[in-house]
Amino acid sequence: MRTIGVEEEFLIVGPDGAPRAVAAAVLQHASAEHPDHGDTPGGALEKEFAQEQVETSTHPCEDLDELLAEVRAGRARADASAQHTGNHVVALATSPHVADPTVVVDARARRIMSLFARTARDQLTSGCHVHVQVADDEEGVRIVDHLRRWNPVLLALSANSPFWHGDDSGYESFRSQIWGRWPTAGPTAPFGDAATYRRTVAELVGSGTILDDGMVYFDARLSAHYPTVEVRVADVCLDPEDAVLIGALVRGLADTAVSGVQEPDPTRTELIRIAGWRAARTGLGEDLVSPVTGTPAPAADVVAQLVEHITPALRDAGDLAHVEAGVQRLFSRGNGAHQQRQWRAEGADFSELVRRAVDATLSHG
């Protein structure tokens, strides 16, 4: 079975819920507590672009229950190290509080900050990245091309960033709007084959606009380090079960992409960009652009189209019941953006909202 892994970025927050630039101390504690992670990807706590963040990653998993256990364990380890500094980690894709990120002490990060100015200075955002195993780059490109029109649906499901600098942004995923300022971020045209993908990346780097291929921020890309496709479109999910649902959907899309003969995707990149904007704006609360028809449809119907599209793959992997239950749970409870706004409607200020989000981040069902 094709393995999947999940990387999650978290804010480090103090008792008042505001971000704290203490990543170095958190990482030092984590390294002392868990000094040997071996050569297998996953398990370690890692730095991010800002000192107010850390990142966790799971090992490659076949079983969804195993993946959920790893996601929860990674969150618990990260929080334990944050608590050592008097803080917590929280799965919010943007901070509700006003916050100016502090770039990590790293020459590359500081060069990025210098080159990209306000775009880099605003990047205190947290995503969820799913790695799905591929046989080779040709298979990977086939999966990347197949994911194009479905990535906005994954964004709507994961949306968890309604607040920005002390205000309601009006978006379910404002992270995606901030992230979209990078020159390579967002949807791509079909590549068709690995040679075209590699040539495109080389030309982007050769333009002198980005430092290296690590700054290729496509919604889905070939991993530079592992035999995987890395799907980067999602917000970090408030609930760990939602992160696993996104992983299961990505695997279903990957398996569907390589099963049988797939016709070239005629969907224009401009339409995918519109669909992504709409997913970011209203999430699951209103219509999404259907990847099947290209026209508006209720979010529940569009998600049902996604599940139907990958049902044979989900059934073969034994994931169908898990995905159906996860989708039902998400529509019943709401995504992270809905939950945050609900807490505000109940009277929670931003500090209380973050405290509730910390509890949700570490929940065990």
The pLDDT tens digits of the residues spanning 112-162 come to 999 999 999 999 999 999 999 999 999 999 999 999 999 999 999 999 999
Task: Report whether pLDDT(40) > 60.
Answer: no
Q: Give the mean pLDDT of the chain.
A: 95
What are the φ/ψ torsions at residue 227 (nearest 5 degrees)? -80, 65
> How does residue 36 score in pLDDT terms, banded at 50, 70 and 90?
low
Give the global pTM. Answer: 0.96
- The DSSP bridge partners found for residue 4 are 61, 132
The C-alpha atoms of residue 204 and residue 211 are separated, in whole angstroms, by: 9
Task: Report whether pLDDT(38) > 70.
Answer: no
Query: Which residue matches tokens 């990543």?
Result: 23
CA-to-CA separations, 334 to 104, 323, 327, 329, 339, in angstroms, rounded: 34, 15, 10, 8, 6
- Best CATH choice for the domain 4-361 from the list 3.20.20.70, 3.30.590.20, 3.80.10.10, 3.30.1330.30: 3.30.590.20
CB of 3 closer than 8 Å to CB of 70: no
> How does residue 42 score in pLDDT terms, banded at 50, 70 and 90?
low
Lowest mean pLDDT among 212-216, 256-260, 314-318: 256-260
pLDDT, tens only, 62-120: 999 999 999 999 999 999 999 999 999 999 999 999 998 999 988 999 999 999 999 99
The C-alpha atoms of residue 87 and residue 170 are separated, in whole angstroms, by: 29
